[in-house]
Amino acid sequence: MTDSRIGDGIARLLFTAGAVHVSRTEPFTLAAGWASPVYVDCRMLIGEPRARRAVTELAAEYMASAFPAGSLDAIAGAETAGIPFAAWLADQTGLKLRYVRKRPLGIGRNAQVEGGTVEGLRVLLMDDLTTDSGSKLAFARGLRSAGATVEHVMSIFYHDAFPGAHERLRAAGLALHPLATWEHVLRAATPDLLAPDDRATVEQFLHDPVAWSTRHGGRATPTFPPLSAAHRRLRRLQSGEQ
């Protein structure tokens, strides 16, 4: 669960860094095919020393409250934008640092994880942005294939508009820890940071993101990968069914 104070702080930093882009006329297509009038570029936080220090401190504060001391061994940055955030956070928390590629290169060592072995390590996956969680599943698979235990994903911003991300992660045994969501961004969006017309566009989109996407040429329905037999069994157990 996102801490409101931390979320509000991250949201202000996103605005200050110029990371929140709204287009009233030309929608963006997000990775999973959803159309959206907004695009958040967390990489804008990387450049300024003050911004990246502040993000790192807020992320470390979140970690201290969310994870018991000694429960993690390493932080793995997700290629590309997750890597710098993971590096600063690993420095701040004294944890080991690794990074994980989007996919193995297919030649040479064919490794997906770099920075040393993750065999037997409890690893926090760190990325800048989460939309539908598809890429997080691939990163977690890569880390697990290399022997890591991965149960948590931390994301600077979670584009919590479209359905399915939490469910997909849960089905894969992963908990999402977003530092900020749209709720925080809209709360931080004073008129000098977000023009009233842009705000209206965002609110209209957030009212029904799937319908907005459909109207603007994007994806219309969420799709989920079929559940494995183990996941179906787990769900039956959780719901008390035999």
Partner 1 sequence: MDELLSWLRLQKGGVGTHAEFRERALGLRTREPQHAAAARLLADLAGRLADAYDEERFPTDMAQHALARLTALVQKVVHANSAGAAAQLAVLNEIGVAELV
H or E stretch at 10 = helix 4-16
**CA 97 to mean position of chain CA atoms:** 18
Specify the 3-state DSSP secondary structure of 171: helix
Residue 31 binds to partner 1 (criterion: CB under 8 A): yes
Q: Which is nearer to partner 1, 72 or 176 (CB)?
A: 176
Give a three-class secondary structure readout of 123-141.
Answer: EEEEEEEECCCHHHHHHHH
By C-alpha distance, which of 126, 133, 101 is closest to 34? 133
By C-alpha distance, which of 216, 224, 226, 176 is closest to 34? 216
Residues 116-155 that bind partner 1 (CB under 8 A): 128-129, 134-135
Residue 32 binds to partner 1 (criterion: CB under 8 A): yes
Task: From 56-64, 156-164, 213-221, 231-239, give the range in contact with partner 1 by CB under 8 A.
Answer: 213-221
CB of 23 to partner 1, least distance (A): 8
CB of 16 to partner 1, least distance (A): 19
Q: Which is nearer to partner 1, 3 or 198 (CB)?
A: 198
Which of 52, 96, 122, 219 contacts partner 1 by CB under 8 A?
A: 219
CB of 33 to partner 1, least distance (A): 3
Instruction: Report the C-alpha gap between 101 and 83 in whole angstroms.
Output: 10
Would you say 118 and 148 are in contact if contact means Cβ atoms under 8 Å apart? yes
Q: Which residues have C-beta within 8 Å of that of residue 160, sequence separation ≥ 6? A: 178, 181, 182, 183
Cα dist. 68→13, 44, 45 in Å?
A: 27, 31, 27
Residues 44-73 that bind partner 1 (CB under 8 A): none
Q: Which is nearer to partner 1, 101 or 187 (CB)?
A: 101
Which of 41, 73, 114, 183 contacts partner 1 by CB under 8 A?
A: 41
Which of 6, 13, 20, 30 contacts partner 1 by CB under 8 A?
A: 30
Which of 11, 20, 63, 81 contacts partner 1 by CB under 8 A?
A: 81
Q: Which is nearer to partner 1, 93 or 155 (CB)?
A: 155
Residue 168: both structure tokens together? 């997909």
Positions that interact with partner 1 (CB under 8 A): 21, 23, 26-35, 39, 41, 43, 80-81, 102-103, 106, 128-129, 134-135, 216-219
